[in-house]
Amino acid sequence: MKPISILSVLHSRLVRTTAAIALACTSLVTVTHIVHADSPKTAAEYTADPAAMLDGYRHVEAASVSDALEQLLHEKHYMSHRMQSIFPTKFAGTALTVKLVKQENHDPDALSGMLKAIDSGSPGSVYVMQVEDGADIAGMGGLMGTAMFARGFAGAVIDGGVRDLPQLKKIGFPVYATGPVPSTSVTHYRFGGMNVPVDCDGVKVAANDIIVADQDGVVVVPRERAAEILVLAQKLDNSEHSMYPFIEKFHSIQEAVKQFGRI
């Protein structure tokens, strides 16, 4: 019988040990993945954790939020095609509302409340402004946008015009408005209130409502129903996103609708 060398024995043991360690590491990775896998939150959990709820809205599509609102509330809560973003964007945050009333004046403090409102905003706020009869009036521009950006606002939605687009694009501050105009509200408008109910492009907005915006448009979620709306919107999102590869594979949208019940 040929003698077995010590080196051969050691090599054999090393191979077995290495294989065992690799198997253990693989099992550990698998278990870790399972333990930390995300699971859908309930409406009650979102209600108890507003920060998590807002983060959820940042990742769901505005179209799914709009559909969820229609299904649960049977109401229109989306703004029209008139509200356009100055560049492709996606954001969500809590509404800080401001109203400007049309009134010719020479009062240097006529708009001071508007500026105070900006300086009172916190990170994650969305500046929602109603400019009375303001399609040709810039409700905000580069100075206000820079202040909002510095304070961590998520974005702004102006039922009126916007100006200083080069500065707003330079800092990357997202704004929805009825369009760019070079005009000013100074001497033509007066501050009408902060965190008061406003009508923004035909949609009622109250302070602390959740604003969801992406390339499809702007949706307003009533704060008191925000948790259940989010849960349904997430389900609609997941269903639709699952349909894309199904349609690509089977070349049939009819079969996809039968399978997922979503269109």
DSSP string covering 183-239: ---TTTEEEEEESS-EEETTEEE-TTPEEEEETTEEEEE-GGGHHHHHHHHHHHHHH
Instruction: Look at residue 91 in the predicted model and tell me its pLDDT.
Output: 98
Q: Is the pLDDT of residue 263 over 70?
A: no
Query: Phi, psi at residue 211, to the nearest 5°?
Result: -105, 125
Q: Is the pLDDT of residue 253 over 90?
A: no
Q: Is the pLDDT of residue 196 over 70?
A: yes
Instruction: Look at residue 22 in the predicted model and tell me its pLDDT.
Output: 43
Q: Is the pLDDT of residue 245 over 50?
A: yes
Q: Is the pLDDT of residue 155 over 50?
A: yes
User: Beta strand pairing status for 161-162 and 179-180?
Assistant: parallel
pLDDT in tens, 76-106: 999 999 999 999 999 999 999 999 999 999 9
- Give the residue from 78, 80, 160 showing the smallest Cα distance to 114: 160
Number of Cα atoms under 13 Å in the Cβ half of residue 209: 25
More confident residue, 156 or 252: 156
Q: Is the pLDDT of residue 201 over 90?
A: yes
Q: Do the beta carbons of residue 233 and residue 227 sit within 8 Å? A: no
- Grouping H, G, I as helix, E, B as strand and the rest as coil, residue 92 is strand
First to last CA, the chain: 75
List beta partners, residue 189.
102
Q: Is the pLDDT of residue 125 over 90?
A: yes
Instruction: Look at residue 9 in the predicted model and tell me its pLDDT.
Output: 43
Instruction: Look at residue 255 in the predicted model and tell me its pLDDT.
Output: 74
Q: Is the pLDDT of residue 6 over 50?
A: no
Q: Is the pLDDT of residue 1 over 50?
A: no
Q: Tell me the C-alpha to C-alpha distance, in Å, between residue 63 and each of 69, 90, 137, 220.
A: 10, 12, 29, 11
- What domains sit in the chain, N to C, each tagged with a CATH number? 41-77+222-263 (no CATH), 78-219 (3.50.30.40)
Q: Is the pLDDT of residue 222 over 50?
A: yes
Label residue 25 by pLDDT band (50, 70, 90): very low
Q: How far apart are CA 121 and CA 139, in angstroms?
A: 17
Q: Which of 130-134, 142-146, 235-239, 248-252 has the lowest mean pLDDT?
A: 248-252
Instruction: Look at residue 38 in the predicted model and tell me its pLDDT.
Output: 56
More confident residue, 108 or 29: 108
Instruction: Look at residue 216 in the predicted model and tell me its pLDDT.
Output: 97
Mean pLDDT for 199-212 is 98
Mean pLDDT of the chain: 87
Q: Which of 12-26, 104-118, 181-195, 236-250 has the lowest mean pLDDT?
A: 12-26
